[in-house]
Chain A
Amino acid sequence: MTTREDVFAAIKSSTLDVLSDLSPEQVTITEQLKALGANSVDRMEIVSMSMERLRIKASMLELARASNIQGLVDILWAKCNESR
């Protein structure tokens, strides 16, 4: 079963791939991607890469509800366990 930690790890890896000048310590669960310097395309790419890592699919409508990384973890974690 995919844990919340697994989901956060996927998002963190994707964030560090896309925002290559960040250090791992900067990506915390309470952060907002926008505050970390991600523009709109960066944010979409981070989400897309995370979903691919987790082998899940969520709609833009569902994802729009997330206001920070914690929110994103919650939505993607729910998707992971929905398909199990």
Chain B
Amino acid sequence: MDTVGVAGMGVLCSIGAGVPAFRKALEEGRSGIGWLEDFAPFTGAPIGARVKEFSFSALLGERRLPASLLRRAQRSAGRSPLSLQASIACALEAWEMAGLHERTVEPSRVALIVACDSSLERYSFNGTAKLNDAAEYLSPRFALHALASDHVGTVSEVLEIHGDGFAVAAASATGNVALVRGLQLLKLGEADICIVVGALSELSPLALQAFHNMGAIYGSAGTAEPESACRPFDSEASGFVYGQGAACLVLETSSSARQRGCSSSVELAAGACVLDGNSSSNPSQSGECRVMLKALSQGNLQPSMIDYVNAHATSTPLGDRTELAALQQVFGAAISRVWLNSTKSLVGHCLFSAGVVEAVATVLQMQHGFVHPNLNLQQPIARDCRFAGPRESIRGVRIATALSNSFGFGGVNSSIVFRAARPGAPAVVWS
């Protein structure tokens, strides 16, 4: 039976550009959270995890890809907003890892899904200043760059993708939902390969103020240490911390991989999305429980077979507690044996791309046998869970099966399952 494997990955976030740097930072438990600039007149504490020292041309220079492909990337995206350039950089890294520049497939059999909700919000916000200042000179390209389809169009132009393609919007669950749709497209036989990109969420002061005024964002009285603000599962958690991150997974059917002369050791075994029928921001234990059980059932798995959970856990008191209650309900007694962490404690909440960034973190931990720390976890809100500690990675861990959750405003619940054929092995093996 055809399975769907992870053939390539790419990532760019506050703790590293590229998969090797990201993996090292996860292992070392490095935080990407610091002070934000350029967020006036936001009235909250301007804390977040920014991508630092970004250079599109430098990132292109690191790729071992055909010159024509890199020229196309420079031409198509060289003047585009950060979010778009981050998508291209990640897609190129994943494409290269998957060997698609050397052992390719028919372009019409490659699909593209981009996780992009209000990821381009800052670009629109900045356009307002231009509108007020000199409306006639608002760039003719604005209408392209302001839409999620810019990512779909540009990535497909650079990589010459001619199969199915679209953008997905599901609030903080967007990344996972995009991966689930990719899995489904491949299972349907609509494509042999699906590139799933999580677009970096570039937010403006307007968006941060909006989250702040609803009480969702980190809100304790000003802290001297931004790195301590994001504390998933901790009793002192007070709201999420905005993070910038883009990522890409190349999903491929096992039959396509065989034809290209490779095999993937990590399978995207299952994925599910369910709605709560709720327009508000509050989480639902029953919805979260339902989606995890649905994903497990789809993968023919018992909860006791899960070795590791990459939690949604955003450092919001109600959200973290609800997810833990749902996990306890799903896993029962087995909860004390399942390693549990939240990548958000290192990279902040990457919002609409979080599911894809965290999928890369999950696969890396499976491949390299470690569980990264839960930074700032000093007083866990539950006693019976197997949390990674606040400082050191847990090493020498065998993760054969992993679950990754993402839950979003508007009652969206999603859960995906990865299975490693050979825990501790590289993702792609060439014959």
Contact = CB atoms under 8 A, between A and B. Distances in A.
B285 interface: no
A20 B140 contact: no
B74 A21 contact: yes
A21 B75 contact: yes
- In terms of DSSP, what is the predominant structure of the interface of chain A? helix
B140 A45 contact: yes
A48 B139 contact: yes
Contacts of B79: 17-18, 20
Interface string A40-84: 010011001101100001000000000000000000000000000
B136 interface: yes
Contact of B137 (A17, A21, A51): A51
A20 B75 contact: yes
Nearest to A52: B137
Contacts, number: 27
Interface in A3-22: 17-21
A3 to B, nearest CB: 22
Contact of B140 (A17, A21, A44, A57): A44
A41 to B, nearest CB: 6
B71 interface: yes
Interface residues of A, number: 13
Given A41-B141, A45-B140, A52 B71 contact: no
B139 A45 contact: yes
A67 B144 CA distance: 25
A17 B78 CA distance: 10
B134 interface: yes
B75 A48 contact: no
Given A52-B134, A57-B136, A45 B141 contact: yes
A73 B74 CA distance: 28
A20 B60 CA distance: 15
Nearest to A46: B140
A44 B141 CA distance: 9
Interface in B231-245: none
Interface string A14-46: 000111110000000000000000000100110
A83 B7 CA distance: 60
Interface string B113-141: 00000000000000000000010110111
B162 to A, nearest CB: 18
A21 B57 CA distance: 13
B214 to A, nearest CB: 37
Nearest to A22: B75
A48 B79 CA distance: 16
A18 B136 CA distance: 18
Q: Which 10 A-B pairs have the closest CB atoms?
A: A44-B140, A52-B137, A45-B140, A57-B136, A20-B78, A21-B75, A48-B140, A45-B141, A41-B140, A48-B137
Given A20-B74, A48-B137, A48-B139, 7 more contacts: A18-B79, A20-B78, A21-B71, A48-B140, A52-B134, A52-B137, A57-B136
Interface of A: 17-21, 41, 44-45, 48-49, 51-52, 57
Interface of B: 71, 74-75, 78-79, 134, 136-137, 139-141, 144
